[in-house]
Amino acid sequence: MKLTLGRCLLDRRLAERGISKEQLAAELRIRPERLIDYIDNTRIMPLKTAISIADTVGCDVRELYEIESAE
Cβ neighbours of 38 (radius 10 Å): 22
- Tens-place pLDDT, residues 15-55: 999 999 999 999 999 999 999 999 999 999 999 999 999 99
Q: Residues 19, 28: contact at Cβ < 8 Å?
A: no
Q: Rounded to a whole number, what is the largest CA-CA distance in the chain?
A: 39
Domain boundaries, the chain: 3-69
**Distance of CA 53 to CAs 5, 20, 30, Å?**
17, 13, 11
pLDDT higher than threshold 90 for residue 12 = yes
Q: Is the CATH number of domain 3-69 3.30.465.10? A: no
